[in-house]
Structure 1
Amino acid sequence: MTLQHLLQILSFMRVRNAPRSHRKTQQKKRRLRAETLETRRLLAADFDGFRHNVFDAEDVNDDGQVTAVDALMIINAMSRQGNGDSEMFTDVNNDGRRTALDALRVINRLNQGRSSDDFSRNDRNNNDVVPSLPDEVRSIDGTGNNVENPNLGSTREQLIRIADADYADGISEPAGTDRPSAREISNELSEFDGETFSDRNLSAFIYVWGQFIDHDFGLTEEADVGESFDIEVPTGDPLFDPTGSGEATIPLTRSEFDETTGTSTDNPREQINRLTAFIDGSQVYGSDQATADGLRTFEGGRLVITDDGLLPLGDDGRVLAGDVRASENVALTSVQTLFVREHNRLADEIEAADPTLSDEAIYQQARAIVIGEIQAITYNEFLPALLGNRAISRYDGYDASVNPQLATEFSTAAFRFGHSTLNDDVGFFDNEGRDLFDEIELKDAFFASSLLDETGIDSVLKYEASAQAQEIDLEVVDSLRNFLFGPPGAGGLDLVALNIQRGRDHGLNDYNSTRKAYGLDAVDSFADITSDTELQGKLETLYGDVNNIDLWVGLMAEDHVRGASVGELTQTIIADQFERIRDGDRFYYENVFEGRELRAIDNTTLADVIERNTNVKGLQDNVFFMQAEVRGTVTAVAVEPASSRSGRGGSRDLGHSQGVDGITVELLDGDGEVVDTTITDGRGNYRFRSFAETGDYQIRLADSGETLDVLVSTGDARLRGFDFEIVV
C-alpha cells in the first residue's frame, strides 16, 4: 500500500464532524507509589473506544515507527464502524473521534519523509537568525501600547471582573461569611495523600514556567497599612493549634485596592495590578524605569550578572531581578537567571554583527527578542500542554478594542492551579538524568538563592525537565499547605487557605455564578463538577449548596477536559485571559516580526534556550512533558533434556522460542522499590510507562528474580530490547 493509494482512498471518504476552532550522593530518595499499568490512566484519552498515543500520535499500532500501515489501520477501523481499538491508537488528533482527518495526519507525517526521532531542534531552520530591532519598542511600564487608551494594560491599573462582585455587603466586605473557615476547607480537601503524578505526563516545568510568567503580568500586594482578614484555625488543628487553644489564626492582610472604588454597590472595591498585563518580560527587565536601569550595565546592551553567570544578590540576600519574587524558590530563580543569560548572549551577537550600535539599541533589540521568545514558549508549548491543543484560538492580529487587563477570576483563582502541581522536593540532575546533589525538601528551597552558588542552575533545570508534576487537583504538598515560608507558628502559612481567603477578600463570586458569567451552563449537582464520589460528599458537607462553592475550590475539583489537564471552567478562564493579553498587545511578537525573523522566534523552544545558555544537553524537544517508556519481550526457549538424548550428557537447545503471555514483570527504582507491575501479552510483550523521573531502574521477572538494568536519561526516552529468555 503506497501513499498514493492511501490518498486515493481518502479522496473518496467523506470527512464527518470536522473539529471546530475554539476561542477560548542520596540523602532522601523519593519513593514512587506502586501501581499497575492496568489501574493507572497513563493515557488520558483512553476513556472511551477511541485512543490517542501520547508518545507519538501518528504511531497508530504503537510499534515505534510511523508507516503507511498506520494510516491503513485507521481507514480499516472506520470501515468496520466499531471501536475495536484495544490494540490501536486511532484518535490521532485527540478530538475524541475517529475520522479521515486522523489518517490524513499520518499521511502528512509520512510525506515529510522523517520520523519524530529524526526531528530535533538542531534540524530547524532560522535558529541562527537574530531578529532586528523593531521600528518601535514597548515602554517598560506598558503605557502607550494602546494608542487610543495609553494606560490600557499598564502598571497600577485595576483588575477587571467577568462575574459580578460578591462582597458580603455588596460593596467591600469579604465574601463567604456563610462558608466554613478556609483552613477547615484546606484540611478536609487538600491534605496530601501520597504522590499522584500528572495523568498526561506533564513535567515539573508546568509549574515553574507558570510561576515565571505569572510574575510577568500579575502582582497584587497587600496594602501597606491594610485591614486584617486572618484565617480562623479549627480548634485542635494538629499543626496550627496543637494545644487546642481555639485562638490560633493564619495571618492575612487584605489586598491593596483603588481607593476610588468600594463606595457603593454600583462601585464595589477593585484591586490593583502593580505590573503590566502583557507578557513583556517584566520579571526579567522590571516594570518601572528605576528597576530597569538598576539591572543594566549600560555597556554593550547587557544586563548585570556575576562572573559565575548568576544573578547578583541585594542587601537583603535576595537576587536582583525585574520582579521582587524572583528568590521565592531555586527553580524560579534558575529560570530568571536563564533569561538574563539569554539576553546577554543575544546582546553579544548583536554587537558582534554591528559594532556601531549603541548600548541602548543593543539592549532594546535583545529585549524585544527575549520577550518574543517568552511569548512563543508560552503559546506554543506551555498553554497547549496545560489546556490542550485547541483551547486557544488562532491569532488574527492586533485588536485595539481588546482589554488585556487581568481578570481577578484568573489571577486570584484559576491561574493558581500550579499550587497543586508542585512536588515536595527539588532535585539536581546531571545530563544522564541521575542525582548530582542531594535533593532538598521544597520547604527548604524557599528564598534559598545562595544554594545556586553550589549547584548552579544546570542541574535544577535538568531536574525540572526530568520529573513529572503532581496532578492538578485539590491535593497540595505539605511544604505549601503547612510549611509555606516557615513552620506553623513561626511564619508558616497554608497556601490553600490563603488562596480561598484571598478570593473572599477580592469578592470573587461563587463557582456556579462564575460559570454562567463565562458563558457556561451552571451545574446542578456536585456530581456535575466531579465524578469522584468521595469528593462530592466532602464538598456537600462543607458547602451544602452547589451554588456556594469558593471559586478556587470548584476549579480544582473539576473533572478534566479531554486532552487537557484542567477542568472546563479553569480552561475557559485561562484561555480567555491569554487570548486577551495576546490580541490586545500591539507588540506581540507575531505582530512585530515577520519572515525568517518571525520563524526564528516561533521555532524557539524552552529546551533551545536552556541548551544555548547552560551545559545541559539532550533535553526532550518539549520539556513540558516527561514521558518515558521501556519495553521488551519475554520468550521461552525449548531445551531437549539429557534423558531423551540416548544417554548422552547435557542438554541441547532446540532453537524454538516464542513469546510467553501471563508473565509478571516488575519495575524497580534505584532503591529497589517496586514502582510498577505488569503482565506480558499474548506475544510475550511488556512495557512500562510509570517513570515519574529519570534515573536508574531495573526490570525484574517476578518468578525468577532475573533483572535487567535500565537508565532513563531523558524525559522522552523510548527504550526497547529489554528482553528476557526463559527455558522450558
Structure 2
Amino acid sequence: MYTVLLTFLLWFTSLSRVKLSISEGSFHPTDLLAVFKQTTSSTRSHIRAAVLLYNTIEIIREMVYTHTMAELNHTELLSSEDMETLLDATGCSTEMKRPVCKSDCLSERYRTITGHCNNRQTPLLGAANTPYARWLPPEYEDLHGAPRGWDPQHSYHNFILPPVRAVSQEVLYTQNENISLDVSLSHLLVEWWQWIDYDLTLTPQSPSTTSFKMGADCTHTCSRDTPCFPIWIPLSDPRAGLQSCMPFFRSAPSCVGQSAMWYHREQLNIVVYGSMVYGSSEELSLNLRNCSSHLGLLSHNQPHSDQGLAYLPYLQETISQSMTRKTLTSMGNLTFCFHAGRPQGVANEHLGMIALHTLFLREHNRLAEELHRVNPHWGPDTLYQEARKILGAVHQVLTWDHYLPHVLGNKEYSKLIPPYDGYDPKVDPSITNVFSAAAFRFAHVTVHPVVSRLGPGHQLHPDNPPMPLHHSLFAPWRVVEEGGIDPVLRGVLLSPAKLQAPEQMMVEELTERLFQAQEGLPLDLGALNLQRGRDHGLPGYGAWRELCGLPIPANKSEFAGILGNVGLVRKLLALYGTAQNIDVWVEAISEPALPGGRVGPLLACLLAKQFRALIDGDRCAEEQITKTQSLSVSRIICDNTRIRLVPLDAFIRTLHAEQLLPCTHPNVTHLNLSAWKEPDTDIDECSNQLSACPVNLQCSNTPGSFICSGMHAYIRSFHTG
C-alpha cells in the first residue's frame, strides 16, 4: 500500500541529512561535545538507517493523518508487511541482522572486539551498535517518542515538569569552595568510575546539527524540532540576560529488529566492555595495534615518551583547509590529541582519563612482553589476544571486587552481588538505558573542582600547580610538557573525592564552567544529565523505586523520611509537584548513602542489577578471573610508571605519604604469569588459525580526525577564556 510513498520519502529524507560542519573561528561548547560524540563508519551506517526509519515514519504519520496520534491505534499506521518493507529499504534489517557465529576454537577462546556472539543463542545481546536494554518501558510524551518535557505545558500527574536548568540551579549548584571532602576515599574512585563508564556506554547524538523539518541550526534556535531539544533558561537564572536557551541535541535513534511492527524510539550503545583499550570495532582495534611488532603490542607514541615509558599514539590528523601549516607549526606539538579505544579522541577529555588510558596501554604491552618470555613460541596474534584476555579479566576483578564494595558498601555489596557462579546464557549483559542515562552518572556529584598534581615527594610542586577542573579539559599537552602521567596519578591517589551532601551536590566547575571558552557560554552538566534522561524517555522516580521493591513516598512526610532532609524535599516538591515526577537521576543522587557506601538504596539496586548482569552474562569471564584476583591498581601503577610508593588499596584515601607502601612490599602483589606457561609441544591447531595482523590502517581516514587541528584554537581557549 505504501510502497511508492515509502520510496519517495526515503529519497526525501536522504536529502535532509546534514553533516556536522565546523569551521575555524566559530567554535562553541556544543561543537566540541558533538565532535566527541561522532563515530566510526559501522556506527554511522547504523545511525543513518535509523534516522531514515524514524524520519520516514514521522512523515507518513503527518501526511496520512490529520488528527492526533493519541486517537489512533498504533497498529493502524503501518501493517507488518509495510514495516518489513521500510526496515529493508532504510537498511535497518541489515543493521540488526543476526550474525553467524563461528564455532571454531578461536571463537571459543577469545571474545570478539564488537561483542557479537558472546551469547551463542542470541548473538546481538550486549554487542556494540545495538539498542540499550530497558527494565521499564519508556515513558515518552507521545507514541512516537517525544521526550518528557517536549511540550512545556504537558502535565504529568497533574504537574508540569520544571525546566532542567531550574533544577540544576536550585538543587544541584554548589560553589567550588563550599564542599565537604570524603575522609575515606581517594579521587581515584571518581576516575575509575569514569573509566568504567566510558568502557560501558557511549550514546551517539544526532549526526545532523539542523532540525529535520525546518532546517534550523540547533546551536542557534530555541525551537523544539528534532534533533533540537534546547534547554530553556528561566528568567530567574543568572544567564537569562545572556541566552534564552542552551543548545542540546537528541541522541540518535537506533534501528529495531526485523519483527517489529511499530517503531518507538530507542537509543544506541556503540561500545562494548573492554573498548577503552582495544576499541569496539574491527577498524579501530586494528588501528590501535602495532602490526610491525612480533610481540602483539599496541601502538605507542613515537615523537615523545614519558621518561622512556610509552605515551598513547597521536591521533593522526588531516589538516583542515581552514588551518594553514604555518598556524599549526606555531602551535608546536600542542596540535595533537592522543588516540585510544574510545572513538574520536575522548581519551583527551581530562588528565585523569589520559593517565588511565596511558597506564593500560603500557600494561597491555607489558603483559604481551612477559607472555613472550613465558611462551617464546607464541606468535604476535596469540600474544595480543592473550594479553587482551588477561587485561579484560583484570578490569573485571578491579571493578567488581575492589571498586564496587566502596560504592555500595560491603554489606549491600554482599547482599546484591553474590559470589560469581559462572556464565548464565539466560542473562542479558546489555547495558540498560537507565544505567547509561541516569544511574551511572551518580559520580558527577563526587568530582572535586580542583585538579592536584604531585611531585616525586607526593607534595605540591611549583612546576605542576593545582588548577581548576575546567583548565584540565582537553589538555593533552599538559601531560607531555608538564611531567607525564606520574604527577596526575599521585594527585588522584592522595587527593580526596568530593563528598555528596544534600546542600553540596554538583560543583560550579560542572554546572557553570563546563567547556568554558572564549565563544559561546559554558554548558551545565547537571542540566545535560536531566535533559538526556528526558530525551531517552526514562520514567520518573517512583517507577524505579517500585522496580527495586522500595516504598514509594505517598506524601511529604514519607518523602522526608526517605531523603532525611526536609529542606531538600521542599525544593524538589516545589519544582516537581510530586515525587512521582522527579527525574530519576536527581532523586537517586539525593538519597542518603547506605552504611559504608556512597549511594542510596535506589542507586545501589540499579547499579548492582546492571553489574551482576554484566558478569553473569559474560561467556568469557569465568576462566581468567581466578588467575587475576590478586592484582591491584597499585600493582599496575608500580609496573608501568616511575612511582615507587603506592597505597595498599588505591581507592582508599591516604592522608600522609608515610602511609604508602614501596612497590617491593609483599602486599603489593605481582600477577604470576607462570599459570599461562605452555610447553612448545602444546602449539595447537587453534593457534595456527590466528590470522596475521594486516597492514595498519591509516588514522588520517578516521572520521573527525581534525579535532586537534581545526578545533585547536577553541580547545586552547579553555585556558585563556
TM-score range, shorter-chain basis? 0.5 to 0.7
Indicate if the aligned counterparts of 1:421 and 1:471 stay in contact, CA closer than 8 A.
yes
Indicate if the aligned counterparts of 1:560 and 1:566 stay in contact, CA closer than 8 A.
yes
Pairing 1:629-648 to 2, within 5 Å after superposition: none
Indicate if the aligned counterparts of 2:186 and 2:653 stay in contact, CA closer than 8 A.
yes
Q: Which moved more, 1:166-175 or 1:505-514?
A: 166-175
Report the TM-score when normalising by structure 1.
Answer: 0.64
SS at match of 2:506: coil
Indicate if the aligned counterparts of 2:183 and 2:496 stay in contact, CA closer than 8 A.
no
Structure 1 equivalent of residue 300 of structure 2: 305
Query: Distance in 2 between the 1:295 and 1:447 partners?
Result: 20
Pairing 1:280-679 to 2, within 5 Å after superposition: 281-298=274-291, 299=293, 300-306=295-301, 308=305, 309-315=310-316, 317-324=336-343, 325-390=346-411, 391=413, 392-436=417-461, 437-453=464-480, 454-473=482-501, 475-487=505-517, 490=520, 492-524=522-554, 525=556, 526-588=559-621, 591-593=622-624, 598-599=626-627, 601-628=628-655
SS at match of 2:452: strand
Change (3 A) 1:713 1:196: farther
Query: Distance in 2 between the 1:488 and 1:625 partners?
Result: 38
Q: Deviations over 1:389-431 (max 9, x none)?
A: 2422221110000001111111100100111111111111134
Query: Distance in 1 between the 2:135 and 2:251 partners?
Result: 19
Query: Distance in 2 between the 1:489 and 1:173 partners?
Result: 31
Change (3 A) 1:585 1:566: same
Query: Distance in 2 between the 1:313 and 1:593 partners?
Result: 32
Query: Distance in 2 between the 1:569 and 1:331 partners?
Result: 28
SS at match of 1:419: helix
Pairing 1:257-296 to 2, within 5 Å after superposition: 257-260=253-256, 268-276=264-272, 279=273, 281-296=274-289
Change (3 A) 1:135 1:153: closer
Q: Deviations over 1:52-105 (max 9, x none)?
A: xxxxxxxxxxxxxxxxxxxxxxxxxxxxxxxxxxxxxxxxxxxxxxxxxxxxxx
Change (3 A) 1:361 1:264: closer
Indicate if the aligned counterparts of 2:513 and 2:522 stay in contact, CA closer than 8 A.
yes
Indicate if the aligned counterparts of 2:632 and 2:649 stay in contact, CA closer than 8 A.
yes
Structure 1 equivalent of residue 125 of structure 2: 152
Q: Deviations over 1:588-633 (max 9, x none)?
A: 1xx1137xxx34x1010111111111111221111111053xxxxx
Q: Deviations over 1:427-471 (max 9, x none)?
A: 111343201321111101111111101221111111101011012
Change (3 A) 1:627 1:452: closer
Query: Distance in 2 between the 1:507 and 1:141 partners?
Result: 27
Change (3 A) 1:627 1:528: farther
Change (3 A) 1:283 1:507: same
Indicate if the aligned counterparts of 2:647 and 2:654 stay in contact, CA closer than 8 A.
no
SS at match of 2:466: strand
Query: Distance in 2 between the 1:147 and 1:401 partners?
Result: 11
SS at match of 1:201: strand
Indicate if the aligned counterparts of 1:342 and 1:613 stay in contact, CA closer than 8 A.
yes
Which letter does structure 2 place at the counterpart of 1:394? Answer: P
Indicate if the aligned counterparts of 1:171 and 1:265 stay in contact, CA closer than 8 A.
no
Indicate if the aligned counterparts of 1:398 and 1:585 stay in contact, CA closer than 8 A.
yes
Alpha-carbon offset, residue 529 of structure 1: 3.3
Alpha-carbon offset, residue 135 of structure 1: 6.3
Alpha-carbon offset, residue 472 of structure 1: 2.9
Q: Deviations over 1:460-492 (max 9, x none)?
A: 111101011012356112221111112496252
Q: Which has the larger radius of gyration?
A: 1
Structure 1 equivalent of residue 52 of structure 2: none
Which letter does structure 2 place at the counterpart of 1:285? Answer: Y
Alpha-carbon offset, residue 354 of structure 1: 2.6
Which letter does structure 2 place at the counterpart of 1:468? Answer: P
Which letter does structure 2 place at the counterpart of 1:580? Answer: A
Structure 2 equivalent of residue 252 of structure 1: 248
Pairing 1:48-67 to 2, within 5 Å after superposition: none
Report the TM-score when normalising by structure 2.
Answer: 0.65
SS at match of 1:429: coil
Indicate if the aligned counterparts of 1:433 and 1:714 stay in contact, CA closer than 8 A.
no
Change (3 A) 1:200 1:450: same
Alpha-carbon offset, residue 165 of structure 1: 1.2
Structure 2 equivalent of residue 173 of structure 1: 146
SS at match of 1:438: coil
Structure 2 equivalent of residue 71 of structure 1: none
Query: Distance in 1 between the 2:540 and 2:631 partners?
Result: 40
Indicate if the aligned counterparts of 1:431 and 1:618 stay in contact, CA closer than 8 A.
no
Structure 2 equivalent of residue 161 of structure 1: 134
Change (3 A) 1:491 1:393: farther
Query: Distance in 2 between the 1:292 and 1:572 partners?
Result: 34
Which letter does structure 1 place at the counterpart of 2:470? Answer: K
Change (3 A) 1:223 1:570: same
Q: Deviations over 1:529-580 (max 9, x none)?
A: 3112221111111111111101111111111112211010001000000000
Which letter does structure 1 place at the counterpart of 2:634? Answer: A
Instruction: Tell me the percent identity.
Output: 33
Structure scoring higher RCO (CA < 8 A, sep ≥ 6) equals 2
Structure 2 equivalent of residue 184 of structure 1: 166
SS at match of 1:202: strand
Which letter does structure 1 place at the counterpart of 2:275? Answer: S
Alpha-carbon offset, residue 318 of structure 1: 2.1
Query: Distance in 2 between the 1:529 and 1:196 partners?
Result: 23
SS at match of 2:636: helix
Structure 2 equivalent of residue 228 of structure 1: 228
Which letter does structure 2 place at the counterpart of 1:219? Answer: L
More helix by share: 2
Indicate if the aligned counterparts of 1:166 and 1:509 stay in contact, CA closer than 8 A.
yes
Query: Distance in 2 between the 1:528 and 1:166 partners?
Result: 27
More strand by share: 1
Query: Distance in 2 between the 1:264 and 1:371 partners?
Result: 35
Query: Distance in 2 between the 1:357 and 1:499 partners?
Result: 47
Indicate if the aligned counterparts of 1:183 and 1:231 stay in contact, CA closer than 8 A.
yes
Indicate if the aligned counterparts of 2:647 and 2:659 stay in contact, CA closer than 8 A.
no
SS at match of 1:415: helix
Any runs of at least 4 consecutive aligned residues in structure 1 with deviations exceeding 4 A, and if so which? Answer: 263-267, 711-715
Indicate if the aligned counterparts of 1:560 and 1:567 stay in contact, CA closer than 8 A.
yes
